[in-house]
Chains A and B, each alone.
Chain A
């Protein structure tokens, strides 16, 4: 695959309700280097709006969003 994403760290946030997914991700992103990508799994439907809004405010970038049944997967690149 040409656009394969190298994921440095995976966060399992399934079952957590708002705002915990955003809280965990914003802490988690600090654990990787700028340019690296984390993967977050959540079941919280609010995350579909929360994550992009959070990315905009924090200056990070959502590279891809996948839906797999009930689970939503975000690939987020650390930019700052």
Chain B
């Protein structure tokens, strides 16, 4: 690596500094309490997957370049030079970490591994060594935001076909658009994923609840966050924020996508609208009696996988239980304490990388499979696209023989007509 590249990368490193980051960089005692926290370590037993080992890689660079010790006595903290070999190690550490923050629960100081890994991800981008497909997907999202007019027609054509589906299944009253788009003054802007399964059931529930809603032009998922590029994350987010402001909605409701929800909730800043997840919206409709559910629709025990970015990292926990209470009398918890739920093993962009990471994803998530099996449930519900894909893959690979379901789809299917 030449001098110039290294300087540029160190500049990127520095750009990640803030108070919390400095805390985390200064104070790991390497006590090993976090050892068993990571599902990858728990499933594979390889030291390099221990949370502290992962972020010590970052800390070694920090000690070398950002502390006087790195010049005076580098071996004291095993400070490391930034080289091509280091970059490879960073890749291994960052793209085997799903950013679930389970290790943060274990650490006596609460060191945030996901946040430290974001330095690794940014360095990888700087070196052009990140998974290029994630950058491509992020750029595609940004492009959509920039030239919306070009793509509007295709979008509307797609929606028309879905509307027919909604009407067929749920007999929405005639005269009303089953999937309203671009409605100024609507109460709620629903940000979906670009897939029928994310739009159709949601539309059915919004319509049943009499919500004044409108569908966003944009998909919720934020590939900028997966690849760890702060400026792209922001651009992708801003598309939706601007749309919400333009339509003057009171609420932005994010579909079942963990990263999208967390980014939207915490990075959108203070805005005239509130941010909710679709799980929260559904729980609210139930509480207010705006929808009713048929408990006989799903026989058999149901368990629920808390998506890390929605539950442990953004606090939507009880709402899901409340909904499931209306779907079954036989709910099985995976853990007694939601903070300890195992990650599905698909976050941090791993699922989006598809077949490339499949083998790793299966090996690293054995503990999740054991956890699901221990519940004895036949339906495994969850509220995140990533988790759903990963859990479905696990279901096939480990022959778990459960039915993997989106919670929102279950709500839609169990709707009792008014």
The residues of A with any CB-CB pair to B shorter than 8 Å are 17-20, 22-24, 26-27, 44-50, 52-54, 56-58, 65, 67, 70
**Bitwise interface map of B from 209 to 223 toward A, beta carbon under 8 Å scored 1, else 0:** 000000001010101
CB distance from A57 to the nearest CB of B (A): 4
Number of chain B residues whose Cβ lies closer than 8 Å to a Cβ of chain A? 32
Cβ A45 vs Cβ B196 within 8 A: yes
In the complex, besides A18-B194, A18-B219, A23-B133, 17 extra interface pairs with C-beta distance below 8 angstroms are A17-B195, A19-B194, A20-B354, A26-B136, A45-B158, A45-B162, A45-B194, A48-B157, A49-B144, A49-B154, A50-B140, A52-B150, A53-B140, A53-B144, A53-B147, A53-B151, A57-B140
A49 touches B195 (CB 8 A): no
Whether B139 lies near A49 (C-beta < 8 A) is no
Please give the distance in Å from A74's CB to the nearest CB on chain B.
11
Q: Which residues of A contact B414 (CB under 8 A)?
A: none
Most B CB within 10 A of own CB, among A24, A45, A54, A67: A45
In the complex, A53 Cα to B143 Cα: how many Å?
6
Residues of B within 8 A of A20 (CB): 354
Binding site for A on B (CB under 8 A): 133, 136-137, 139-144, 147, 150-151, 154-155, 157-159, 161-162, 193-197, 199, 217, 219, 221, 223, 352, 354, 385
Bound: A53/B219 CA distance, A? 13
Given A53-B151, A57-B139, A19 and B197 contact (CB-CB distance below 8 Å): no
Do residues B151 and A23 form an inter-chain contact, with CB atoms below 8 A? no
List, sorted by A's number, 18 A–B pairs whose CB atoms are closer than 8 Å.
A19-B223, A22-B140, A23-B354, A44-B196, A45-B159, A46-B194, A46-B195, A48-B151, A49-B154, A49-B194, A52-B154, A54-B143, A56-B147, A56-B150, A57-B136, A57-B142, A57-B143, A58-B136
Contact of A26 with B133 in the complex, beta carbons under 8 Å: yes
Q: Which residues of B are found within 8 Å of A47, using beta-carbon distances?
A: 158, 194
Query: With a CB–CB cut-off of 8 A, which chain A residues contact B162?
Result: 45
In the bound complex, residues from chain A placing their C-beta under 8 Å from that of B139 are 57
The answer to whether B147 and A23 have CB atoms under 8 Å apart is no
Which residues from A are CB-within-8-Å of B193? 17-18, 46
Q: Which residue of B lies closest to A20 (CB)?
A: B354
Chain B, residue nearest A19 (CB):
B137
Task: For B217, list chain A residues within 8 Å (CB).
Answer: 49
Residues of A contacting B219 in the complex (Cβ-Cβ under 8 angstroms): 18, 46
> Chain A contacts of B223 at CB under 8 A?
19
Enumerate chain B residues within 8 angstroms of A24, measured Cβ to Cβ.
354
Among candidates B133, B141, B196, B354, residue contacting A53 with C-beta atoms closer than 8 Å: B141
Q: Is the CB of A44 within 8 A of B194?
A: yes
Q: Which residues of B contact A22 (CB under 8 A)?
A: 136-137, 140
Establish whether residues A17 and B354, one from each chain, have CB atoms under 8 Å apart when the complex forms: no
Cα separation A67 to B161 with both chains bound (whole Å): 11
- Tell me, rounded to whole Å, the shortest Cβ–Cβ distance linking B119 to chain A: 25
How far is it, in angstroms, between the C-alpha of A32 and the C-alpha of B77 when the chains are bound?
50
B256, chain A: closest CB distance, angstroms: 12
CB neighbours of A56 from chain B (8 A):
143, 147, 150
- Cα A49 to Cα B141 in complex, Å, equals 10
Q: How far is the CB of A41 from chain B (nearest CB, A)?
A: 15
Query: Once bound together, how far apart are the Cα atoms of A23 and B352, in whole Å?
Result: 8
Residue numbers in B under 8 Å from A27 (CB-CB): 133
For the complex formed, measure the closest distance between the CB of A5 and the CB atoms of chain B, giving whole angstroms.
19
For A26, give the chain B residue with the smallest CB separation.
B136
A26 to chain B, nearest CB (A): 6
Cross-chain contact of A46 among B136, B142, B150, B158 (Cβ < 8 A)? B158
Question: Which A-chain residue is minimally distant from B145 (CB atoms)?
Answer: A53
Residue in A17, A26, A57, A65 whose CB lies within 8 Å of B197: A17
Nearest CB of chain B from residue A80's CB, rounded to whole Å: 12
